[in-house]
Chains A and B, each alone.
Chain A
């Protein structure tokens, strides 16, 4: 299972999401989109728009499934916690 989190350094729900994953010892990659610059930032924004349909954070990708927002219930289901 692969887990990727698109986050913002300023976003409380992004912090809650990461804390929740950390507490449950889930391995994940994280991209702090607001900390990126130039082309890297543009590419990350384009990817977030493409997979989530918007620019709201956090965006959590668990295998093929996409969760927008700190949705503990949905993460729990998909991660089988």
Chain B
């Protein structure tokens, strides 16, 4: 791989951190989640300038449109880019809460500024869970989508999603290994066929959810 193809090096936060530094490390990460900076460049700079003020005051880049409560569990979910914590909501409104990031399939970010229309109940929402190239054949990883914890896997060019929690002792299947179509739990070796969630242990089949590909992203469908 040539130097130019490597992702930009992450900049440390500290005195002298600039808007460009934030763009350098946030951009590639957002792209891996199916998002990019808003096409409204001035708006992006306004939000990032606010984040730098917050960085100076608090030590991290919290969302300028949400408040820190002091509860670490709540506050970690508003550190920018906070997309993994809000995949379902952001996929539905096609941008992150403050609009710094828009989905890669939105061509004009200006259209979404000041638009908070959430889809009506029952409307299907397609959520990017990762980039195709980030899930190698034979690999498995944990992804959180709304309240659901999923283990997503790839066998050749087929993609599967099962519940992340082993039915035996609640082991994290996203940390398991793949053997063919079988996902092996990292805790005690229970095996599940990722195509249909079945296992040899009676009454312990996993819930499965279909995945599909749009452009370079692995997607899952939920509804509002």
Contact = CB atoms under 8 A, between A and B. Distances in A.
A72 B116 CA distance: 9
A70 B116 contact: yes
A73 to B, nearest CB: 8
Given A56-B97, A69-B116, A12 B47 contact: yes
Given A55-B66, A55-B78, A57-B65, A12 B98 contact: yes
B198 interface: no
A68 B64 contact: no
Contact of A12 (B43, B67, B74): B43
Contact of B66 (A56, A70, A74): A56
A55 B47 contact: no
Contacts of A56: 65-66, 97
Interface string A38-73: 000000010010000001111000000000111111
B98 to A, nearest CB: 7
A16 interface: yes
Number of chain B interface residues as a range: 20 to 34
Given A55-B78, A56-B65, A12 B97 contact: no
A13 B50 CA distance: 12
B106 interface: no
Contact of A55 (B53, B54, B69): B69
Given A69-B116, A70-B116, A13 B98 contact: yes
B46 interface: yes
Interface of A: 8, 10-14, 16, 33-34, 45, 48, 55-58, 68-74
8 contacts: A8-B67, A11-B64, A12-B98, A13-B99, A45-B67, A48-B67, A57-B67, A70-B114
Given A8-B66, A56-B97, A72-B114, 13 more contacts: A10-B50, A11-B64, A12-B43, A12-B47, A13-B99, A33-B67, A45-B67, A48-B67, A57-B66, A57-B67, A68-B116, A71-B116, A74-B116
